[in-house]
Amino acid sequence: MVRPAIALLSLLVLAACATREKPEPAMPTFTNPVFLENFPDPGAVPADGTWYAYGTNNATANVPILTSPDLVTWNPAGDALPDVGGWAERGNTWAPEVIAGDGGYLLYYTARKAGGRQCIGVAYARTPAGPFTDDRTGPLICQADEGGSIDASPYRDPDGGLWLYWKNDGNAIGRPTHLYGSRLAADGRSLTGDSVRLLSNDAAWENHVVEAPQMVRHDGKLFLFYSANAFDLPGQHARRRDMAAVPRVAAGRDRQRGARPAALAGPGRVARRPARGEGAVAGPAADAAVALSAPRRRRWWRPRSRG
């Protein structure tokens, strides 16, 4: 994870992943980027006709928030997390993601533990606008012996179960990086069961890092999107590429090598392939996919620039 000098919010319209009987209103005409100011690592959720986007800290907010009626017109809406957890240092709040849960909303964020490594915390609010509160005495996840823990991404399965995905910050100590998954408790505020390694940066093109995992279910299969390598360096293997890892989710004729059938947290290897072809994507650090009611899917890219 490299702190950006500037990051702009852009929108990419992709293929359909869900349809409903009532069509969504027509999308306004737009030109990327749709928000011109610094707003790294955005994750977006809808609630009551409004989209809420949360970003990495800036000079005035731990988790700056934007709101939009249409994913195109965005307005700043303050700080979703005015106070980080007592375990964390202010001014180092990264890559927040929000999901509905426990009668309100849960915000998972990365912050630097006082005098230590980066760790993952969870905060709660009754509404998506916040303010979110982290009342824990310590982080939710902190793999200090593996460099720390960052880039948390929650996922809710159709059966209602909550899961969390993240990476260890091995880059901080010169060690390999891994993507992890674990089931969350019903209230989303603690892990249950084992934390399982889903994959590691063991492919040549991934170079020194894999990060920013996000799980998406489509047509009965699970797709684990993630990023790797670095986009701002020259050379054939120095481009960040968005990837899809496809765990095995059904028996029978499914020939994918991977996790046990229907396993959301491994264990085992997964079949990996470039989401848009190896070498086809340069620039985005990560993505956050959101499902719409119309027959299409949009993806939020998180670009980063040198510095």
Per-residue confidence (pLDDT) for residue 224, from 0 to 100: 83
- Lowest mean pLDDT across 100-114, 167-181, 288-302: 288-302
Quick one: what percent of the chain has pLDDT higher than 70?
67
More confident residue, 42 or 205: 42
Is the pLDDT at 5 greater than 70? The verdict is: no
- Lowest mean pLDDT across 31-35, 116-120, 224-228, 296-300: 296-300
Is the pLDDT at 86 greater than 80? The verdict is: yes
103 neighbors 42 (Cβ within 8 angstroms):
no
For residue 260, what pLDDT band results from cuts at 50, 70 and 90? very low
pLDDT digits (tens, 9 = 90+) for 136-188: 999 999 999 999 999 999 999 988 999 999 999 998 999 999 999 999 999 99
What's the pTM?
0.80
Distance (Å, whole) CA 284 – CA 35:
16
More confident residue, 8 or 129: 129
Is the pLDDT at 21 greater than 60? The verdict is: no
Sheet (strand 221-228) strand order: 210-218, 221-228, 243-246, 271-274
Residue 257: half-sphere exposure toward Cβ, Cα within 13 Å: 6
What tokens appear for 40 in the block?
């790294």
Distance (Å, whole) CA 148 – CA 160:
29
Q: Residue 165: which of 114, 226, 218, 116 has the closest Cα?
A: 226
Distance (Å, whole) CA 217 – CA 239:
26
For residue 129, what pLDDT band results from cuts at 50, 70 and 90? very high
Which residues have a Cβ under 8 Å from the Cβ of 230 and sit 6 or more positions away?
A: 2, 207, 208, 209, 238, 239, 240
DSSP state at residue 207: T
Per-residue confidence (pLDDT) for residue 100, from 0 to 100: 96
Per-residue confidence (pLDDT) for residue 253, from 0 to 100: 24
Distance (Å, whole) CA 52 – CA 181:
25
Per-residue confidence (pLDDT) for residue 293, from 0 to 100: 60
For residue 246, what pLDDT band results from cuts at 50, 70 and 90? very low
Is the pLDDT at 247 greater than 50? The verdict is: no
Distance (Å, whole) CA 28 – CA 169:
39
For residue 237, what pLDDT band results from cuts at 50, 70 and 90? very low
For residue 239, what pLDDT band results from cuts at 50, 70 and 90? very low
For residue 26, what pLDDT band results from cuts at 50, 70 and 90? low
